[in-house]
Copies of this chain bind each other. A is one copy, B any other.
Amino acid sequence: MTENKKKILAFGEVMLRIAMAQNRTIEQTNEARLNFTGTGLNVLSGLAHFGYETALLTQLPDNRVGDAAKADVRRLGVSDQFIKQGGNHIGLYFLEQGYGNRPSEVTYLDRAHSSFCLSTWTEDELRLAVDSVDLVHICGISLILTPETRFAALALARIAFESEKEVCFDFNYRPSLAYEADLNLIRKDYEEMLGYASIVLGSSRDLIELLELETKYEESNYERIVQKFLKANKIKLFAGTNKKIETTARFVQGFVYTESEYALSPFYPVYTLDRIGTGDAYAAGIIVKYLENSPLQDIVNFATASSVLAHTTQGDSPILSKRHVDQFLENPHLDIMR
């Protein structure tokens, strides 16, 4: 089917999303929709729907919930061959979907004691997984969640780097989730990780502020800082999005930097059915077009369109194919595909 296609591995937590039905609050309804989700899984779902082979490296509980999570992973087109089962807890969050100018609201229950957060991995396990793929995706949340996930994320990145596999790192810096209070230690971990990465996803601001790059490079122009940084770390691609709002309309624009160039997509209007996971659809778009050696402008347009469309589908995991994205790029106003 997908012969000679490159294969992608992601490391990350699978969480259970409990989304209350029909934009209601937890108090208003007993009906919920359960989905298994997580940055790594979402990126792989996007890549699988774009036609690639993918596998998730994670640990799930050794019970009915873990079994069901594995079934859902396979349904999305992602291999469960590197999924271990152990423990009895899974990270979970409630989603009260917003509407219009009411924001969606996320409530986390206990995450620190999840099967993934307590998982430990041997060098051999990591190496086995790395050996079977071309690119490894790691999310910054793993760096700060627990000592166990931090250790595994760095070890995996190092092994991938040593094996000359591409590493795609999603910055995803959320101080509120960090188990470690010392910002210097956190920064050090991020710096180590960035040393292994060839693709980095994030916002320019987070990157610059966390790493104190203005000071480091004695430079205040964002673009130049980013490009100096890419050059210094031998990072091939840095990508993210910009947003703007006009009265009642929202727009998103993608950007991609190399150490010498950059490209911007148009600002596309955003219609939101489900707000979560659109960044992961962007990442999947970047990775797929990068792996296909597309021109920079095509990379950023495709990734932005992928993200724009992910706002219009239910659930966190991207579910649309290349055909959908390509057609949107060609005719963004089409209203029925027959």
Interface set of A (CB-CB < 8 Å, partner B): 1, 18, 22-35, 61, 63-65, 67-68, 71-72, 74-77, 80-81, 88-90, 92, 94, 96, 98-110, 113-114, 174, 176, 245-249, 268-273, 275-276, 308-309, 311-315, 319-321, 324, 327-328, 332-338
In the complex, chain B residues whose CB is within 8 Å of the CB of A25: 64, 68, 313, 319-320
Question: How many copies of this chain?
Answer: 6
4 closest cross-chain pairs (CB), A and B:
A100-B271, A102-B312, A26-B68, A89-B110
**Neighbouring B residues of A75 by C-beta, 8 Å:** 27, 71-72, 74-75
CB–CB A106/B248 < 8 A = no
Among B65, B314, B321, point to the contact of A24 (Cβ < 8 A).
B314
A to B CB contacts below 8 Å, 29 in the list: A24-B314, A25-B68, A25-B319, A26-B34, A26-B64, A26-B67, A28-B319, A30-B34, A65-B94, A71-B76, A92-B109, A98-B335, A99-B271, A100-B271, A100-B311, A100-B312, A101-B271, A101-B308, A101-B328, A101-B333, A102-B271, A102-B312, A102-B328, A104-B337, A106-B336, A110-B114, A248-B269, A275-B336, A276-B336
Give the docked Cα–Cα distance between A312 and B96 (Å).
12
A227 to B70, CA, bound (A): 43
Q: A72-B75, A103-B337, A104-B337 are in contact. List 9 more A-B contacts (CB 8 A).
A: A18-B34, A26-B65, A27-B75, A28-B319, A31-B32, A88-B110, A101-B309, A248-B269, A272-B335
Chain B residues near A71 (CB-CB < 8 A): 27, 75-77
Given A88-B108, A110-B110, A103-B334 contact (CB < 8 Å)? yes
Report the bound CA distance from A314 to B81 in whole Å: 28
Whether A309 touches B102, Cβ cut-off 8 Å, given contacts A314-B24, A336-B276, is yes
From B30, B63, B273, A99 is in contact (CB under 8 Å) with B273
In the complex, what residues of B have CB within 8 A of residue A269's CB? 100-101, 247-248
- B residues within 8 A CB of A104? 335-337
Residues in B with CB closer than 8 Å to A105 are: 64, 336-337
A83 and B94 alpha carbons, distance in the complex (Å): 22
Q: How many angstroms between the C-alpha atoms of A313 and B29 in the bound complex?
A: 12
A94 to B89, CA, bound (A): 12
Once bound together, how far apart are the Cα atoms of A1 and B66, in whole Å?
Answer: 14
Query: Which residues does chain B contribute within 8 Å of A314, judged by CB atoms?
Result: 22-24, 28
Q: Smallest distance from the beta carbon of A238 to chain B beta carbons, Å?
A: 23
In the bound complex, residues from chain B placing their C-beta under 8 Å from that of A30 are 29, 33-35
Q: Which residue of B lies closest to A268 (CB)?
A: B101
Question: A80 to chain B: which residues have CB within 8 Å?
Answer: 1
Q: Are A109 and B94 closer than 8 Å at their CB atoms?
A: no
Contacts of A271 in B (CB 8 A): 99-102, 248
CB nearest neighbor in B for A333? B245
The interface residues of chain B lying within 8 Å CB-to-CB of A94 are 64-65
User: Measured between C-beta atoms, what is the minimum distance from A68 to chain B in Å?
Assistant: 4
A280 CB, nearest partner CB in chain B, Å? 14
Min CB distance A91 to B, Å, is 10
